[in-house]
């Protein structure tokens, strides 16, 4: 926890109202998002109980499983969920655009839009991941045949769950995480994990104090949980009697589940409204381009009859994925800081960025010590902020992202009541091709600027061998996973693998 975020929490408590952690929105917000609330059957391994979903806030669909412990009913539910989700996911393929690749020597195409799913919390993401796992290998033939839409849904859900792990991706979002990224509450993150308690701090109902609203949010009789876990009291007193008969009354089941899910549905749309009211960060669109790339590629993969995602990544695929995730996390952190002064403030506080005024500028300085003379202007920046940087470090200013500034010297200014530091910087790049800088490309005396060690520069990913080049010691060459896998989960007849538990 950074001091800034902790301070925001303290301020939120004192003000009895959530405080902003961002000045811009750091995620893409779709014009037509699909909101989805999965509810699971307690005790079962990912057995669905119900789902409320749709793109029309006034008119949610509610799907219920007639008898959650019955396999056929579960797959009937999966089929109706597929009917609701797959057409939405498929509906962004009308237009494509060309993207130059390989330094303009080639082009590829991507769709101009992509779907966006919202679930209430990380549990919802996890539910979709497991539901994807339990459906994507299903066979559409033979003894346990399911409708073709079921394995297709499984592949899409797996795709979405995988993208949700990529920092900065906006294809599958969860409200708790999205809201916590933009606001700090005066309670702990344990309480924030409950959507209703989080929203109580950000937007309490009119005429109700934050503390009253948060207390009400913890009473499941007033505000039922956002799922996937149900309220045990609801299970014991409402659901159990309804499910105790061989053929439960679907109308009644639907009615009681609607009552449980509707408050969360409304909170989710309210949260989306609040996020929409924030101005969007300028690098968000670039990340959405990446999301559209991923969507387009996966759509293509399915169109070509591609295999379902393997149960587990092989060693090389796992390493490559980890490396991609790390790069995405680093890029996302830098982009958020460049987009948002409140995020950059974290780096200023940590001494990795400083803001100051230009006191000297020599815009026409030429360095002719090399083979040919180069333009290397120097500027002096005075700051009252801590500068924990060494000469030789390369800095960037968000105002001139293509220009590099190398620290020549860092000098504390001794006399005076306030501690100040003079930083001498040598500039390169972003000034045109001549030996005279383009107008405005070199900061002028009096200008206030921010410099940071963060850089948006592209970092190349690691080089990983192709799957068929992988030595056996690292899990390759691969075996096709799809054939052997059908129905393994249901019959459990497959081999027991002595796999190490990831969580242990």
Which stretches of the chain bind another protein, using CB under 8 A?
A: 1-11, 13-14, 20, 23, 41-47, 130, 133-134, 186-191, 220, 230, 232-233, 235-236, 239-240, 311-312, 341-342, 345, 348-349, 385-386, 488-492, 496-504
Judged by beta carbon, residue 10 or residue 145, the one nearer another protein is 10
Listed in sequence order, the residues at least 6 apart from 454 whose beta carbon sits closer than 8 Å to its beta carbon are 333, 334, 337, 338, 347, 352, 353, 396
Judged by beta carbon, residue 231 or residue 291, the one nearer another protein is 231
Judged by beta carbon, residue 245 or residue 501, the one nearer another protein is 501
Judged by beta carbon, residue 239 or residue 334, the one nearer another protein is 239
| Residue from 210, 200, 154 nearest 176 by CA | 200
Strand ranges across the sheet with 48-54: 61-64, 48-54, 34-40, 117-119, 172-174
CB 443, min distance to another protein, A: 20
Phi, psi at 216, each rounded to 5° = -65, -35
Q: How many CB atoms are closer than 10 A to CB 269?
A: 17
Q: Are 422 and 411 in contact (CB under 8 A)?
A: yes
Judged by beta carbon, residue 41 or residue 316, the one nearer another protein is 41
Continuous segment of H or E residues that includes residue 421 = strand 420-428
Q: Would you state the structure tokens that stand for residue 40, as one six-digit string?
A: 């699971």
CB 430, min distance to another protein, A: 26
CB 43, min distance to another protein, A: 3
Q: Would you state the structure tokens that stand for residue 139, as one six-digit string?
A: 């066979």
CB 194, min distance to another protein, A: 10
Judged by DSSP in three states, 443 sits in coil
Judged by beta carbon, residue 44 or residue 364, the one nearer another protein is 44
Distance of CA 313 to the CA centre of its chain: 21
Judged by beta carbon, residue 94 or residue 504, the one nearer another protein is 504
Listed in sequence order, the residues at least 6 apart from 78 whose beta carbon sits closer than 8 Å to its beta carbon are 48, 131, 135, 146, 150, 153
Judged by beta carbon, residue 414 or residue 504, the one nearer another protein is 504
CB 7, min distance to another protein, A: 5
Interatomic CA distance for residues 40 and 120, integer angstroms: 13
Continuous segment of H or E residues that includes residue 320 = helix 315-339
Bond into 228 cis (ω within 30): yes
Judged by DSSP in three states, 96 sits in strand
Q: Are 356 and 423 in contact (CB under 8 A)?
A: yes
Interatomic CA distance for residues 275 and 345, integer angstroms: 21
First-to-final CA distance of the chain:
26
Judged by beta carbon, residue 45 or residue 251, the one nearer another protein is 45
Judged by beta carbon, residue 4 or residue 317, the one nearer another protein is 4
- Dihedral of CA 356/360/363/368: which sign? negative
CB 57, min distance to another protein, A: 30
Judged by beta carbon, residue 203 or residue 214, the one nearer another protein is 214
CB 45, min distance to another protein, A: 3
CB 312, min distance to another protein, A: 6
CB 203, min distance to another protein, A: 18
CB 310, min distance to another protein, A: 10
Judged by DSSP in three states, 108 sits in strand
DSSP state of 279: P
Judged by DSSP in three states, 479 sits in coil
CB 186, min distance to another protein, A: 7
């Amino acid at each position: 926890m950074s001091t800034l975020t902790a301070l925001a929490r303290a301020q939120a408590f004192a003000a009895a109202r959530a405080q902003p952690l961002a000045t811009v929105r750091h995620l893409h917000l779709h014009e037509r998002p699909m909101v989805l609330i999965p509810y699971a059957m307690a005790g079962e391994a990912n057995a669905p109980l119900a789902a409320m979903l749709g793109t029309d806030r006034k008119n949610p669909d509610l799907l219920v499983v007639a008898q959650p412990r019955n396999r056929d009913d579960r797959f009937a539910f999966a089929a109706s969920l597929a009917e609701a989700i797959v057409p939405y996911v498929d509906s962004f393929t009308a237009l494509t655009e060309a993207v130059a690749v390989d330094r303009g020597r080639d082009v590829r195409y991507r769709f101009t839009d992509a779907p966006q799913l919202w679930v209430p919390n990380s549990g919802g993401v996890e539910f979709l991941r497991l539901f994807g796992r339990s459906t994507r290998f299903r066979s559409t033939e033979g003894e346990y045949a399911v409708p073709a839409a079921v394995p297709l849904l499984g592949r899409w859900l797996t795709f979405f769950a995988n993208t949700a792990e990529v920092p900065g991706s906006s294809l599958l979002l969860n409200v708790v995480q999205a809201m916590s990224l933009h606001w700090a509450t005066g309670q702990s993150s344990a309480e924030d994990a409950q959507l209703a308690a989080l929203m109580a701090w950000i937007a309490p109902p009119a005429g109700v104090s934050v503390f009253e609203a948060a207390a009400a949010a913890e009473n499941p009789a007033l505000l039922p949980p956002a799922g996937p876990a149900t309220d045990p009291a609801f299970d014991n007193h409402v659901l159990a009697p309804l499910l105790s008969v061989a053929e439960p009354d679907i109308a009644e089941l639907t009615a009681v589940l609607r009552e449980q899910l509707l408050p969360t549905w409304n909170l989710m749309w309210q949260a989306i409204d609040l996020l929409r009211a924030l101005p969007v960060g300028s690098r968000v669109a670039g990340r959405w381009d990446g999301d559209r790339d991923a969507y387009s590629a996966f759509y293509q993969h399915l169109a070509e009859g591609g295999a379902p995602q393997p149960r587990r990544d092989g060693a090389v695929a796992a390493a490559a994925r980890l490396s991609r995730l790390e790069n995405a996390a680093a890029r996302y952190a830098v982009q958020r800081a460049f987009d948002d002064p409140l995020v950059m403030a974290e780096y200023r506080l940590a001494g990795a960025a400083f803001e100051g005024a230009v006191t000297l500028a020599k815009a026409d300085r030429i360095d002719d010590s090399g083979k040919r003379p180069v333009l290397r202007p120097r500027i002096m920046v005075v700051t009252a902020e801590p500068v924990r940087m060494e000469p030789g470090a390369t800095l960037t200013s968000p105002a001139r992202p293509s220009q590099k500034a190398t620290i020549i010297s860092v000098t504390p200014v001794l006399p005076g009541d306030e501690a100040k530091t003079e930083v001498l910087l040598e500039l390169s790049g972003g000034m045109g091709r001549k030996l005279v800088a383009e107008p405005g490309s070199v900061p002028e005396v009096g200008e206030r600027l921010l410099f940071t060690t963060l850089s948006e520069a592209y970092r190349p990913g690691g080089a990983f061998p192709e799957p068929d080049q992988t030595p056996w010691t690292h899990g390759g060459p691969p075996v096709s996973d799809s054939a052997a896998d059908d129905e393994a989960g249901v019959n459990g007849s497959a081999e027991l693998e002595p796999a190490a538990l990831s969580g242990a």
